[in-house]
A and B are shown apart, each in its own frame.
Chain A
Amino acid sequence: MNTALKKEDKWNKFKEGLKKNSFLIWTLLPGFLYIIAFFVIVAFFLLKLSLTSYNGGMTQESLTIANYLKLIESEEFRTAFVRTFIFVLITTPLQLVTGLIGAILINKKFKFRGVVRSILLLPLAIPTIVTTATLLLLFSKGGHITSLLMGEYPWFPKITQHEISFLNKESLALGISILGKVWRDTPISMLILLAGLQSISEEQYEAAKTMGSTTIQNFFYITLPLLVPSISSVLVLRSIEAWKEFIFPYILAPSYPVLGVLIEKYYVQMFDPGTASAIGVILIIVILIGTTVLNWILKKMQSYLVKI
């Protein structure tokens, strides 16, 4: 009797709460539905797919971890994983540095600042496929860079006798993918960091100046710690992008697949959506762990920089 009454009480309270916050609920509803449609449902089917094993497209078996076991045993997967990790470890900090340099540059007042800003934003305006195609033209067999180095242009000294096959050497092919990726995505990091820089009031630097703080000390004690939120956005966004990178390595380093390329291979070429999804799930987990670790490190760094 008593408990039933309590239950009713709770239910009434709940209804009252609904009424009170109905405006809030209605305004949040679209966002809520969006998350369900594009995240929860997608993630659910991805997980389900990754737990389904297709045997050569003929039979299928549900709720099995066979796909995962297959991947762990696969040499190709393990190499691709390490390759992707290296790709992430290089592109992410590199984009932070290039973005920071660009942001600091256009945060200063100088003549032609507008022009410089437009030039720095240009990579964003060029379709990725054009960028990759250009890199392919430059670096492929018989491409411009090779011709240049072999002295085929009169204005450039001959540097090498033999043709360098850029795209047939793992480190070079991946290096060029990284180059393209960094070049293309630097403007995004730059804009995020620029917004962060502009939110730091000039007076803080002035106060520090009267205390004798040098430009370098200003950077480490004021700019950097205050930029941590922006830096964290850049690193998180850029590292996620790098983990799931596809187009640059796909075009420029097809013989050295990263995880993104491997997914395409399993799904399209090998008709194995189960394994492809398993890679996707592994990527999501790795990204979640990666961003958590990253934020922890950044917090540590910030508190180290601002301690007395």
Chain B
Amino acid sequence: MAGLTLKNIQKIYPNGYHAVKDLNIDIKDGEFVSLVGPSGCGKTTTLRMIAGLESISGGELWIGDKLANNVAPKDRGIAMVFQSYALFPHMTVAANIGFGLKIKKVEKKIINEKIEWALDLLDLNGLGDRKPSQLSGGQRQRVALGRALVLDPEVLLLDEPLSNLDAKLRIKMRTELKRIHKQLKSTIIYVTHDQAEAMTLSDRIVVMKKGELMQIGSPSEVYNKPANKFVAGFIGSPPMNFIEGELIKDGENYIFKYNGNVYKLPSYLKDVIKEKIKGKEVVLGVRPEDFEISLQPIENAIEGMSIVTETLGSDDYVAVEVNKKLLSVRIEPDSNFPLDRKVYLTPKEEKFHIFNK
């Protein structure tokens, strides 16, 4: 088993595109780490550099205690599931899964056992003799997963392995992945678009944007203490509400001025502002579930109009227009919230985020 260290990793493609900029990540042995970020931010590129399929333009990659920059892919102890599966179209499902073992000259009996194990684990029973072209997208994805799992890799690299599954199967596979991770104890690096998936699966989450590292932390860290506005907006669903405005010093404390209105900031924000904020222009951030909403006037509140309510399964939200923008606020389910009324919002204690604009 092996940990993994990325030191100042860079990727510049031959056409000059700087896809990954100065990435520093330290992954512990056996850790489940997710790479999240919008499309094109360099997740696949990072994974391919770790796998050895893409040369590293700068920096150091350590796998275990070995500098791996120039180690051949097969000697890195990794297995990868490709975003586009990369199954062998001419081989049956079973032959696909067994291919790596056949190459490693494993005994035939053991190969067959492993294939059976994988088919069973991935709910592919009875499909062993089919060709990939006779499978659904989700089934193909699971075959790709099986092909990697049977190799008992020290580091498992997964590039959006669940993206094509339906919601139900995806949740089942999430649980399976967690179980597999527990059972195999391999280090897993997991690329996904889906921040909810990253939150439920990972020990730590790496948030990237345009090739740059935005934040690394446990799911609760990136959720509760986002390092910047990008992370705050990317993690969480529905996303965090943002209000733009400016900061005015008022003795010891600060006042937030937005569109002619003012709001006195609580005193605990003082230290955060001193530490992080540069300049006057700032953005306040509050998650939908962190607002108290009231129909009675409250002193020092953010005023707005209730516009519509919507329900997202278990939770109901009301959209409140503040400053010509809609904020989403969680409300009691089935509360029949009155619309087109003036409402007063106050963020809950310690649930206020403030970012540079």
Specify whether A and B are partners: yes
**Residues of A bordering B, CB below 8 Å:** 201, 203-204, 206-213, 217, 221-222, 225-226, 228, 302, 306-308
Q: How far is it, in angstroms, between the C-alpha of A211 and the C-alpha of B151 when the chains are bound?
A: 8
- Which of A212, A225, A228, A308 touches B74 (beta carbons < 8 Å)? A212
Complex: chain B residue closest to A222, CB-CB: B88
Q: How close is B47's CB to chain A, nearest CB, in angstroms?
A: 11
Bound CA–CA A225/B92 (angstroms): 13
30 contacts between A and B (CB under 8 A): A204-B86, A206-B53, A206-B82, A207-B80, A207-B82, A209-B53, A209-B73, A209-B74, A210-B51, A211-B74, A211-B99, A211-B100, A211-B103, A211-B104, A212-B100, A212-B103, A213-B99, A217-B103, A221-B88, A221-B99, A221-B103, A225-B91, A226-B90, A228-B90, A306-B88, A306-B90, A306-B95, A308-B94, A308-B98, A308-B111
Chain B residue contacts of A222, Cβ below 8 A: 88
CB distance from B73 to the nearest CB of A (A): 5
Given contacts A210-B52, A210-B53, 13 further A-B contacts (CB under 8 A): A204-B88, A206-B82, A207-B82, A207-B88, A210-B51, A210-B73, A211-B100, A211-B104, A213-B99, A222-B88, A225-B90, A307-B95, A308-B108
B184 vs chain A, min Cβ distance (A): 17
Partner of B84, one of A203, A209, A212: A203
Q: In the complex where A208-B99, A211-B100 touch, is A308 in contact with B53 (Cβ < 8 A)?
A: no
> Given A201-B86, A207-B82, A226-B90 in contact, is the A308-B102 Cβ separation under 8 Å?
yes
- Chain A residues lying within 8 Å of B73, measured Cβ to Cβ, are 209-210, 212
> Count of B residues near A, CB < 8 Å?
31
Which residues of chain A are near B162, meaning CB under 8 Å? none
Expressed in whole angstroms, the minimum distance between the Cβ of B347 and any Cβ of chain A is 48
A207: chain B residues at CB < 8 Å are 80, 82, 86, 88, 147
Q: Which residues of A contact B100 (CB under 8 A)?
A: 211-212
Listed residue (B51, B78, B89, B98) with the most chain A CB atoms within 10 angstroms of its CB: B89
Residues of A within 8 A of B90 (CB): 225-226, 228, 302, 306
Does chain A have a CB within 8 A of B69? no
Which residues of B from 114 to 129 have beta carbons under 8 Å from A?
115
A228 vs B104: C-alpha distance when bound (angstroms): 25
- Evaluate contact between B103 and A210: CB separation under 8 angstroms: no
Q: Is the CB of B99 within 8 A of A210?
A: no
B residues in contact with A213, CB < 8 Å: 74, 99, 103
Other-chain contact of B80, A210, A212, A225, A226 (Cβ < 8 Å)? A210
In Å, the complex CA distance between A211 and B90 comes to 18
Q: Are A308 and B115 in contact (CB under 8 A)?
A: yes
Closest to A209 in B: B73
Complex: chain A residue closest to B151, CB-CB: A211
State the CA gap A16–B151 with chains docked (Å): 59
Q: B346: CB under 8 A from chain A?
A: no
- Distance A267 CA – B124 CA, assembled complex (angstroms): 64
Residues in B with CB closer than 8 Å to A308 are 94-95, 98, 102, 108, 111-112, 115
Known: A222-B88, A306-B91, A308-B94. A210 touches B102 (CB 8 A): no
In whole angstroms, how far apart are the Cα atoms of A203 and B104 in the complex? 20
Q: How far is the CA of A226 from the CA of B88 in the complex (A)?
A: 9
Does B79 belong to the interface (CB within 8 Å)?
A: yes
What is the distance, in angstroms, from B52's C-beta to the closest C-beta of chain A? 7
Complex alpha-carbon distance, A212 and B78, angstroms:
10
Flag if B86 contacts A203 (CB, 8 Å). yes
Residue on B with the closest CB to A302? B90
A133 to B103, CA, bound (A): 51
Residues of B within 8 A of A210 (CB): 51-53, 73-74, 78-80
Interface positions of B from 202 to 248, Cβ below 8 Å from A: none
Q: Could you tell me the distance in whole angstroms from the C-beta of A227 to the nearest C-beta in chain B? A: 10
